[in-house]
Amino acid sequence: MKKRRLKWLLVGLLILALVFGTAIAAFASNASGNSKSPERKIVVFQNWLIEQPAKDKVLRHAGISKVKDLPLINAAVVLVDPDKEKALRQRSEVLRVDPDALVYTQGRPQKKPPQPAPPPADPEILPWGVDRIDADLVWDKEDPKLAVDPGANAGGGVKVAILDTGIDLDHPDLQANIKGGINTINPRKSPDDDNGHGTHVAGIIAAVDNAVGVIGTAPEAWLYAVKVLNRQGSGYVSDIIEGLQWCIDNKMQVVNMSFGTSSDVQSLYEAIVKAYHSGMVLVAAAGNSGPGDDTVLYPAKYKEVIAVSATDQNDNIAWFSSRGPEVELAAPGVNIMSTFKNGGYMVLEGTSMACPHVTGTAALVIASGVSTRDEIRTRLQATADNLGDPNLFGYGLVDAQEAAAGTATAP
């Protein structure tokens, strides 16, 4: 009997050793980067493979899980492990497989932890950035009290898409200008802002003239919330591509992209090119990567996009602002008060805040009668106030008054 018990004890110990040995081996494999866990990728099909059932069949036969389709670039987002990805790349129907890289907002709190700003006192205030680019002189010439003059150009009816964390759809300073949108992260949900960044950007562009809060660069422009970033302020390239598809389908005129990534993803570039050729003006934050000869992020780095660097109240380049030959325009991006989620207000800084000053100015230029993308871009370049080094400021500080009204006020 004792021998039998000893035998079963030895068998049990052997089983435990095998279990723990397998667990340790798995842990070591993961720690060394040999994990076989699926990764999110963008599969781009050959141009001749356009029928959806045929594309789905390729993925199904490869045993790959599809997240969603990207018709703009004839692609699909998938979850795939390295072995299956290798096999997929070898299929004749597949043109390439791109990483579905993450992008991040380019707005940031001030150096000390931010405290929500109290609602500005009644009457509404003119933020220093909107004032510095002379946007108010386009639509407020007659009344010493801050207000849009009757019949003035305030960007009315110009369709501006904000690809971001969404917009606070009930914010009293924005609600009247919000005309629609989409949530590409979860189409079943609204594009309401669960982060605050997109709402801040929206207020710089088009906070309404309502005698309270703040007022935007183009206070009558139409805002469209295209939620492509999550509550942490990050998102996938594929969600941005889907957002650009929505912008094309819904005939947006200006697109604001206050985000960036260091990854040059071919799929993103192809989507940008298609959006550009649809006639839209594309504006993006240069990035917050700081000093250096080549720190501009994507998509701002693409030639089809207006890359915007950030300046402070003394027209100096912001310490955090990316620099490089791709910078096209500069705009205020330090100590910027604007709208925030939950009906609030916040002071933020970043090229994320500079970018919408240019977007709002583009809306004013369009409302003034300049209709084509190239003419709008040329007007913005030609009327910018030269601040010096083009690697820092591009053509210079955007000048809304001169760009939209043809007149200039001395700095």
pLDDT at 403: 97
Q: Are 141 and 153 in contact (CB under 8 A)?
A: no
83 and 135 co-located in one domain? no
Residue 112: the pLDDT is 52
Quote the pLDDT of residue 28: 40
Same domain, yes or no, for 279 and 299?
yes
- φ/ψ of residue 380, rounded to 5: -65, -40
The answer on 134 and 175 residing in a single domain is yes
| Separation of alpha carbons 336 and 328, rounded Å | 21
Same domain membership, residue 144 and residue 91 = no
Domain boundary among the residues 84, 100, 116 is at: 100
**Residues 188 and 59 occupy one common structural domain:** no
Residue 54's CATH number: 3.30.70.80
Does the annotation count 277 as an active-site position?
A: no
For position 64, what pLDDT does the model report? 92
CATH number of the domain encompassing residue 240: 3.40.50.200
Residue of 258, 267, 309, 352 marked active site: 352
Assigned domain for 63 exists: yes
Catalytic (active site) residue 197: yes
Q: Which position among 100, 136, 164, 239 bears the catalytic label?
A: 164
Q: How far is CA 351 from the centre of its chain?
A: 11
Distance CA 295, CA 288 (A): 8
| 172 lies in the same domain as 230 | yes
Is the domain of 334 the same as that of 360? yes
From CA 68, how far away is CA 88, in angstroms rounded? 17
Angle, alpha carbons 111-322-116 (nearest 5°): 30
- Residue 182 · residue 226 · CB < 8 Å: yes
For residue 405, the model assigns a pLDDT of 87
Q: Is 239 a catalytic residue?
A: no
Q: Round the CA-based radius of gyration of the chain to a whole number and report it.
A: 25
Average pLDDT for consecutive 10-residue bins of the chain (411 residues)?
Answer: 46 42 40 65 96 94 93 96 91 95 84 54 84 95 80 95 98 97 97 97 97 95 98 97 98 98 97 98 96 93 98 96 97 96 95 98 97 96 96 98 85 63
Domain range for 80: 39-100
Residue 14 has what pLDDT? 44
Two structure tokens written together for 344 = 């609030």
pTM assigned to the model: 0.89
Selecting among 171, 197, 200, 357, the annotated active-site residue is 197
Q: Residue 29 falls within a domain, yes or no?
A: no
Residue 23 within any structural domain of the chain: no
Residue at which a domain ends, from 100, 130, 145: 100
What is the structure's pLDDT at 6? 44
* Domain-embedded: residue 26: no
- Whether residue 172 contacts residue 209, with contact meaning beta carbons closer than 8 Å, is answered with no
Number of H helices, E strands in the chain: 12, 16
The answer to whether residues 147 and 190 belong to one domain is yes
Residue 328: how many CB atoms within 10 A of its CB?
27
Structural domain count of the chain: 2
**β-strand pairing of 234-236 with 102-105:** antiparallel
DSSP-based three-state secondary structure for 295: coil
Residue 27: the pLDDT is 38
Residues 84 and 147 occupy one common structural domain: no
**Domain endpoint, select from 81, 100, 119:** 100
Residues 140 and 155 in one domain: yes
Q: In terms of domains, do 78 and 154 share one?
A: no
Dihedral angle, C-alpha 396, 397, 403, 408, nearest 10 °: -100
For residues 96 and 109, membership in a common domain is answered with no
- DSSP conformational letter for 121: P
